[in-house]
Amino acid sequence: MLRKCGAGWRLALAVLLTALSAGFSPDAVQAKGVASEAGISTVAIAELPVQGRNMVKLIYRGGPFKYDKDGSVFGNRERILPARIRSYYREYTVQTPGERSRGARRIVCGGFVATTPDACYYTEDHYASFRRIVQ
């Protein structure tokens, strides 16, 4: 039967059997994905500092942005946000009054269209923690 299905099917079956023998189950894999998002708290847009609320508006309008890094790819090296492909997340600066540099506050949005993100996250400690922005 496997001979008729081709090499792709045999490879997929081998990977599945290897994962199952290592103690993984489809339920465990799904629960792990849910847990990674569940560990992130939320913040309402209205609770963001005024600069954060303004940046959310700019993100949905497509700019203009003050800093060259705004809208650039965020690598998620800290692995706090849910794992996605490299180009999924973009970062934006949330200005801090009195700060001469970009400061520590950022909004990171995920999605493939910058002006309609799937989700946005706020950090006030330069990626040490995130809260998902909700309406």
C-alpha–C-alpha distance, residues 57 and 36, integer Å = 27
Q: What is the mean pLDDT of the chain?
A: 80
**Is the domain of 48 the same as that of 93?**
yes
Query: Which pLDDT band, with edges at 50, 70 and 90, does 51 fall under?
Result: very high
**Is the domain of 9 the same as that of 45?**
no
Model confidence at 54: pLDDT above 50: yes
What residue numbers bound the domain in which 13 lies? 2-34
Calculate mean pLDDT across residues 100-115: 95
What is the predicted pLDDT for the residue at 39? 80
CATH of the domain at 97: 3.10.450.30
**Is the domain of 78 the same as that of 21?**
no
The Cα-based distances of 95 to 22, 49, 50, 124 in angstroms read: 47, 10, 10, 10
**Is the domain of 124 the same as that of 61?**
yes
Enzyme catalytic residues:
91, 126
Calculate mean pLDDT across residues 64-90: 95
C-alpha–C-alpha distance, residues 105 and 113, integer Å = 22
**Is the domain of 60 the same as that of 86?**
yes
pTM of the full structure: 0.72
Q: What is the pLDDT of residues 19-33, one digit of tens each?
A: 333 333 333 333 333
What percent of the chain is predicted at pLDDT more than 90? 67
Distance of CA 50 to the CA centre of its chain: 22
